[in-house]
């Protein structure tokens, strides 16, 4: 393989890096694009996530971040259709919505309703009786629930489809870890890996939680830290629940199609810690079983740890570097990177191809002098 003279090299083979490569190659098939990714990285967020597409459950205010996430949700059905078409893979996507039981929302109930009303969200409040009728498996302890029109995806299928789709479009996927760069002044010439150097006209740094150490090699202080999440997946009948159940630290993500339900999650500042703790997993099951009692004795399929890439201000870092002429960043998508994938792919493609109308300042790398 000749690792030379690419127009664009994306560093990072999670959903963020892959989706930008996908979009750019679709728009400009003549461009020579590569994605460099470190496949032994078992902590990557894109395969560890629950796949909730939940702008209305996660956001606190009607700001640019919320609007970006909402736009991304709206783009999802078309994005998945395109990916399925190019990759030939199937992807579970449900737009049936999610429910927030009073049990999990607690004293934030009124604030949530006010927010949903203010932003014109598609939502309903279901009484206890309506809940019994629609979701008989839900615990009575849940009380009323708020139903919101948002989505759920099987993010591992999404990741698999992205890998296949970029290959089908002719993007080179290079299974390597980037350890350094060769540069001339403020221009990057090569990304360096253990098995050689890769020359490109432009680069995108999309290394998730590892973006900080990668940027350090470029003498840039990128304030991204890993936020650890422990999760598990249990075997449950598909019919048990159609909706995603959302709370802040307790959620149930039905992957269905015989793939069970994902139960999440912890939020821990513990660096690159890969440990899975049995007590933490049991706590997740216990909390989720308060909502859906059939989970208590459901067979455990697997448990895992993943790392969310979080910037100091909680916003993504997307756009052009102010320090290097041919470098872009797309990282820091924190708790919502799966949700942001389609909009992020469009936004970054416009950045790289020079067709962007307006930069979102709050996301700009220049806020950290990158
Ligand atoms: C437990 C958990 C639950 C989550 N749940 C949800 C959810 O329900 N909904 C949602 O929207 N989001 C969720 N997220 C967040 C979402 O998963 C992330 O924001 C998103 O996946 C980030 O994608 P990424 O591609 O930037 O990073 P990653 O998926 O971490 O990928 C980073 C990539 O960079 C590669 N890399 C790193 N260093 C190098 C290097 N030096 N050289 C080459 N490659 C390198 C890695 O190997 C990997 O391929 C969750 C995350 C976690 C951990």
Q: Are 334 and 348 in contact (CB under 8 A)?
A: no
**Are residues 301 and 326 both part of a single domain?**
no
In a domain, 68, yes or no: no
pTM of the full predicted structure?
A: 0.98
In a domain, 260, yes or no: yes
The confidence score (pLDDT) of residue 58 equals 77
Q: Which of 310, 327, 353 is the last residue of a domain?
A: 310
In a domain, 302, yes or no: yes
pLDDT over 90 at 243, yes or no: yes
**Are residues 235 and 125 both part of a single domain?**
yes
Q: HSE, CB side, 13 Å, CA atoms: give it for residue 369.
A: 3
Count of domains forming the chain: 2
CB 178 near ligand 1, within 6 Å: yes
In a domain, 79, yes or no: no
DSSP-assigned states of every residue in 197-245: EEEEEEEEE--GGGHHHHHHTTT----EEEEEEEEEEE---GGG-SSEE
| Ligand 1 atom closest to the CA of 12, numbered from 1 | 34
More confident residue, 247 or 104: 104
- What domain range includes position 197? 6-47+157-224+313-368
Distance CA 43, CA 303 (A): 12
**Are residues 185 and 146 both part of a single domain?**
no
Q: 257-272 pLDDT, tens per residue?
A: 999 999 999 999 999 9
Q: 207-216 pLDDT, tens per residue?
A: 999 999 999 9
Segment 115-143 shows an average pLDDT of: 96
**Are residues 268 and 234 both part of a single domain?**
yes
Q: Nearest-5° angle of CA 225, CA 207, CA 49? A: 75
Non-local CB neighbours of 119 within 8 Å, separated by 6+ positions: 56, 62, 66, 70
3 band by pLDDT with thresholds 50, 70 and 90? low
CB 333 near ligand 1, within 6 Å: yes
CATH for 300: 3.30.9.10
**Are residues 304 and 161 both part of a single domain?**
no
In a domain, 22, yes or no: yes
Q: Which of 264, 281, 310 is the last residue of a domain?
A: 310
The confidence score (pLDDT) of residue 59 equals 82
CB 311 near ligand 1, within 6 Å: no
CB 57 near ligand 1, within 6 Å: no
């Amino acid at each position: 393989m000749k690792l030379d003279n690419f127009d664009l090299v994306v560093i990072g083979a999670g959903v963020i890096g892959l989706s930008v490569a996908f979009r750019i190659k679709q728009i400009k098939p003549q461009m020579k694009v590569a994605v460099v990714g470190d496949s032994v990285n078992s902590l990557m967020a894109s395969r560890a996530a629950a796949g909730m597409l939940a702008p209305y459950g996660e956001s606190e205010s009607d700001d640019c971040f919320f609007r970006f996430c909402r736009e991304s949700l709206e783009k999802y059905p078309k994005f998945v259709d395109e990916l399925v078409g190019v990759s030939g893979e199937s992807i579970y996507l449900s737009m049936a919505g999610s429910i927030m039981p009073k049990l999990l929302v607690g004293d934030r109930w009124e604030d949530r309703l006010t927010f949903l009303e203010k932003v014109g969200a598609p939502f309903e409040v279901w009484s206890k009786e309506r809940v019994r009728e629609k979701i008989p498996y839900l615990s009575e302890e849940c009380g009323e629930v708020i139903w919101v029109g948002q989505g759920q995806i099987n993010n591992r299928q999404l990741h698999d489809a992205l890998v296949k789709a970029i290959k089908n479009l002719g993007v080179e996927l290079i299974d390597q870890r980037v350890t350094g760069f060769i540069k001339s002044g403020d221009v990057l010439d090569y990304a360096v890996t253990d098995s050689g150097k890769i020359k490109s006209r432009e680069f995108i740094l999309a290394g998730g939680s590892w973006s900080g150490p990668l940027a350090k090699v470029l003498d840039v202080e990128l304030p991204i830290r890993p936020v650890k999440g422990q999760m598990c997946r249990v075997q449950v009948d598909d019919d048990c629940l159609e909706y995603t159940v959302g709370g802040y630290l307790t959620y149930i993500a039905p992957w269905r199609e015989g793939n069970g339900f994902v139960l999440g999650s912890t939020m821990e500042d513990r660096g690159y810690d890969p440990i899975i703790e049995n007590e933490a997993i049991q706590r997740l099951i216990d909390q989720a079983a308060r909502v859906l009692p059939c989970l208590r004795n459901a067979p455990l399929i697997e448990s895992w740890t993943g790392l969310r890439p979080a910037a100091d201000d909680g916003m993504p870092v997307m756009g052009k570097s102010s320090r290097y002429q041919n470098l872009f960043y797309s990282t820091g998508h924190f708790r919502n990177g799966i949700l942001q994938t389609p909009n992020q792919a469009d936004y970054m493609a416009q950045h790289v191809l020079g067709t962007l109308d307006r930069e979102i300042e709050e996301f700009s790398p220049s806020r950290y002098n990158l």
